[in-house]
Structure 1
């Protein structure tokens, strides 16, 4: 059985300082439970990963992540396969892992109470080489926009992604994919042109973009979603449907459920949990039950 001690890992810069504010709010609640609680802040992703590795090596019962999906992504690189449980204090801009699990996203104290109640759930993770992700790997138009935005120096914030989207819409063209699928109902290579391809362990990323609607993070399978080529106007009309999950009714929508998939396409750099993973081709496989997490 894991111990009752808790390490609260804080990203002080997430959500424009929301991580630090949430940590100050929840720390007394956690300490009042009578458990041994230690709060630590990572200076950057590498420092945060080193902290999590030390937490796992020490046999700490619960790592409480106070930040956004980026910090969760960093933490699971060391938590995967360990006995240390993940607790969530959402304080980012997207919080898609918390959204997927039903952890309160706007009430840090309610999230702390979920952690203290100690209801454990085993989740699958997706793995690309030695890198794990929790939610979605984007490998289509959305990933291309992300790559362009990250290369821009101006403007800052969301406006940069809006400009990157407009720039990519101007040169929008179908992407030629080869998918090598290994699943219970489909196996072999598929060659297809598409606007969007995504591999989901969970249903959403990017603050509720439900591209892999219906994906379950504990079914031992990944969802591969393909959306057929669209023109600019059709993509603009369809994009809001991705936040509702209603794009599943689009005639160009295809879904495959697999244990493993290799995604290949020229010139595309994939992103998972919002983090840059690398250029295609990439092979993604499911790691069943690799993460222990505290849920409502």
Structure 2
């Protein structure tokens, strides 16, 4: 296991990247509250908000190049993922003001949902080096991820959840699960761990985790650690609708160890093949399978509460 690298940072100037649409429009309100608290703490704030994901990515890159002490994201896991593409493998830490639906990055690192308290963590907390996952398609499309990647029934559920406006939060995923049961079937799959074939049969879902949860707290990879140099993999095998319905409450709580039909693995490299299956990373759609996943040790740098 890698040593945990924690350090205190002097935070005097930050770039605050906001997604006004995150959290059903609450992100802008939370950003304003966080910015006011930063000013109270004597921190200079450069507020940025892109007109598109591409524009936000460019603004994040420019902010890092300008020499700020931290890049702070006010939004959900998708905006954090976008910021990671510019911030990964740099010495500028990433701060988080949670303002999304799932907030699984914040959950992993113990960051409070209250924007004033989250701002205080940025200024008064510590930085920690973590691993990041990296995805690569066969045609060379690459992207980092910080939490979990889903494919199979859960990625189909995520696509459905993104079309639902009610209920809010993690309850949307539960509603989407119920709706997708109407079309449920197991999917042919091949999975390789460190180049060795370990699965060659229809499965229900496969989740790759750098951290434990996705979808607002569903602990799909309950033993994942963000600094162990490995990726976790949870596979739910072929089963009927009744058994899938029985398993999902246990997936939500992380109580899956030794559960029949559920397998857990760890590896530095994972390749998953399913025909034309969409893949969601940190809650946002990335591409379709096949994809190879690798772990990038020490690529992440987050501002978190003091231990």
> What is the TM-score when the length of structure 2 is the normalising length?
0.87
Asked if residue 37 in structure 1 is aligned to residue 45 in structure 2, the reply is yes
Asked if residue 48 in structure 1 is aligned to residue 20 in structure 2, the reply is no
Name 1:126's counterpart in structure 2.
Answer: 133
Asked if residue 144 in structure 1 is aligned to residue 153 in structure 2, the reply is no
Deviations 1:171-211 (A, max 9, x none): 322222111111xxxx5112233212110001111111111
- For residue 3 of structure 1, report the CA deviation from its aligned partner: 6.5
> How far, CA to CA, are the matches of 1:98 and 1:167 in structure 2?
28
**Alignment equivalent of 2:202, drawn from 186, 190, 193:** 193
Name 2:79's counterpart in structure 1.
Answer: 71
Deviates more, 1:163-172 or 1:56-65: 163-172
Number of matched pairs: 288
> How far, CA to CA, are the matches of 2:91 and 2:299 in structure 1?
10
Counterparts of 1:232-247 in structure 2, within 5 Å, are: 232-247=241-256
CA contact (8 A) 1:96 1:135 kept: yes
Residues 1:23 and 1:69: Cα distance change in structure 2 (over 3 Å): same
SS at match of 1:247: coil
Q: Which stretches in structure 2 are left out of the alignment for 5+ residues? A: 1-8, 137-141
> How far, CA to CA, are the matches of 1:147 and 1:42 in structure 2?
24
- For residue 59 of structure 1, report the CA deviation from its aligned partner: 2.3
- For residue 230 of structure 1, report the CA deviation from its aligned partner: 2.0
> How far, CA to CA, are the matches of 2:161 and 2:15 in structure 1?
34
Name 2:219's counterpart in structure 1.
Answer: 210
CA contact (8 A) 2:173 2:215 kept: no
CA contact (8 A) 2:224 2:231 kept: yes
- For residue 32 of structure 1, report the CA deviation from its aligned partner: 2.2
SS at match of 2:301: strand
Name 1:170's counterpart in structure 2.
Answer: 182
> What is the TM-score when the length of structure 1 is the normalising length?
0.90
CA contact (8 A) 2:17 2:48 kept: yes
Name 1:89's counterpart in structure 2.
Answer: 97
Name 2:111's counterpart in structure 1.
Answer: 103
Counterparts of 1:279-290 in structure 2, within 5 Å, are: 279-290=288-299
> How far, CA to CA, are the matches of 2:109 and 2:176 in structure 1?
31
CA contact (8 A) 1:218 1:288 kept: yes
> How far, CA to CA, are the matches of 1:162 and 1:238 in structure 2?
13
> How far, CA to CA, are the matches of 1:2 and 1:115 in structure 2?
10
- For residue 55 of structure 1, report the CA deviation from its aligned partner: 1.2
Deviates more, 1:28-37 or 1:90-99: 28-37
* RMSD (CA atoms): 2.1
> How far, CA to CA, are the matches of 1:2 and 1:83 in structure 2?
13
CA contact (8 A) 2:10 2:123 kept: no
